[in-house]
Amino acid sequence: MISSTPAQQQISVLLVDDDSRFRQGLQMLLQFYSTNCDQRFAVIGEAASSEQAVQLAQQQHPMLILLDMELASGDGITTLTELAKLEHRSKILVVSGHEEEEWVFRAMRAGANGYVVKTELATELFTAMTTVLNEQIYLSPELATRFFQMFRFYNGQALDAKTKLHLTDREQEVLHWLVQGASNEDIATRLYISVATVKAHLTAIFHKLSVTSRTQAIIRALKMGLVSC
């Protein structure tokens, strides 16, 4: 189930991309969501450079910024760093043509609240926006895997937390297949248990990891080294 911000609340959005046609496409998507979903989005500014983005963010205080990582004047990392210095902190969702782990890692480390690949906008953008607006981090399971591959590369061996969290062998198996992207039905079939039992294990896993969703569980498991990629 997709979470959403409070119904009818208008979300101010700043678009940052040096391609005017792409910004127009984002405008159309936001209009579609405003018409067909409970959430209303209002674009309060558009920027084609890092300097313009920071200036507009200072003036308009947008609730959400959709930011490209490659700009004609100033790169996305520089922009992220500058935006992080502002007194008003907007939620920043990176919308990029790059899906390489290095790009994802650098963006998240620089302060992005989420990362969406441009080729996946049609299926992920609304979920990504509502996720970051609800004070959560958004990464698709695939990007989360890539991010924490780099996390382990830069930070050494991952923590061995299985014993500390008291995960049972069965919970470990369920967590393994969850990270692989398996549905509850797929996990049940692979482990020869019922879907209801899978859900019970997931509830226990979520509690032990202190998370509330499948994506958060995947990110936490990868970060803590509970499963291999």
Q: Pick the closest to residue 16 from 100, 59, 75, 81 (CA basis).
A: 75
Mean pLDDT for the chain? 85
Over residues 120-139, the mean pLDDT reads 92
Has this prediction a pTM greater than 0.85? no
At residue 155 the predicted structure's pLDDT band, cuts being 50, 70 and 90, is low
| 1, 29 Cβ separation under 8 angstroms | no
Strand 40-47's sheet: what is its strand order? 40-47, 10-16, 64-67, 91-96, 114-117
- Residue ranges per domain, the chain? 10-150, 157-224
- Please, is 131 exposed, middle or buried when counting C-beta atoms within 10 Å of its C-beta (0-12, 13-18, 19+)? buried
Task: Count CB-CB contacts under 10 A for residue 87.
Answer: 6
| 172, 209 Cβ separation under 8 angstroms | no
At residue 33 the predicted structure's pLDDT band, cuts being 50, 70 and 90, is very high
At the second CATH level, the architecture of 10-150 is 3-Layer(aba) Sandwich (3.40)
DSSP string, 45-63: EEESBHHHHHHHHHHH--S
Sign of torsion, CA 160 161 167 173? negative
**In the block, residue with structure tokens 């992920």:** 124
Angstrom distance (rounded) from CA 42 to CA 29: 11
Q: CA torsion, points 29, 35, 37, 42, in degrees to nearest 10?
A: 60
> Mind listing the pLDDT tens digit for each residue in 59-109?
999 999 999 988 877 677 888 888 888 888 899 999 998 888 878 888 888
Question: How high is the pLDDT of residue 153?
Answer: 58
- Say whether pLDDT at 4 is over 60: no
Write out the two tokens for 63: 């609730």
Angstrom distance (rounded) from CA 10 to CA 13: 9
| 211, 217 Cβ separation under 8 angstroms | yes
Looking at 43-52, 64-73, 163-172, which range is the least confident one? 163-172
- Say whether pLDDT at 8 is over 70: no
Angstrom distance (rounded) from CA 128 to CA 90: 15
DSSP state of 204: H
CATH number, domain 157-224, options 1.10.3470.10, 3.20.20.80, 3.90.1010.10, 1.10.10.10: 1.10.10.10
For residue 69, the SS3 value is coil
